Structure 1
Amino acid sequence: MLISVILAQGRPLTTTELFVIGSLFLLSGMALAYGTWFHWKWMQKRLGWLLRWGRGGWSFPASRVGMTYSGLTGIVLGVLMIGGGMKWKPPVDRDYFFVGTVFWLILGVCIALRDYSLHRNSKDE
């Protein structure tokens, strides 16, 4: 919400905004990954609405693998945003960074398809 309001103004994020939003992404990704690894049953019971792919009628439950992917994505985005606020440039060739980003997105689609397949197979039984 905050990012969409700032981007609607047509200006780039300031250093402070990048640091704050990146910190929120980093902390929420760490909390999600920690909860997925060590408190899965508790999260399923109390935060079931959070452990899903999509919203509305086409929503389906995510597995531990899917939630770990989501947590790691939040961690990576948070670190990149904090690094961007600090004017840090990763010591990686831009082409390799692009290939890594595309690989990460394809991996997310594959994990979502895996979770959907698990969901469909569990309903058939």
Structure 2
Amino acid sequence: AALAAKAEAVGDFQLLVQRLDGVDGAGLQGAAQSLADQLGDGAAVVIGGLPDPADLGKVILVAAFGKQVIAAKLQAGKFIAGIAKLCGGGGGGRLNLAQAGGRDGSKLPEALDAAADQLKQGLSDV
């Protein structure tokens, strides 16, 4: 619940981009979905992390989008695949929940910044 408080309001949307290391893909998906549920239909949640903080060779990124975000033409699968490319990877999934991986953990901060910027741009025009 503490993470949900860090969400940033953009119009009717709630954006949350966070780094969470030491958690596997299923754990990150669960966290993202739970946060999106708490934040409601306007939620756009992106979480990225290193499952093993000592291993920069594996990055996991997940996105969970609420109904209003999908209606604004943003899709979690396409979105997270684009962000993962910045970490030398790819992936995808459904409109509302998706996961991707990358091979360059040193690029994770940059990728999360890009995710935040793209969400703000994509949702501020709505």
From the two aligned structures, give the one with the greater strand fraction: 2
From the two aligned structures, give the one with the greater helix fraction: 1
Same fold (TM over 0.5): no
Relative to the length of structure 2, the TM-score reads 0.30
Relative to the length of structure 1, the TM-score reads 0.31
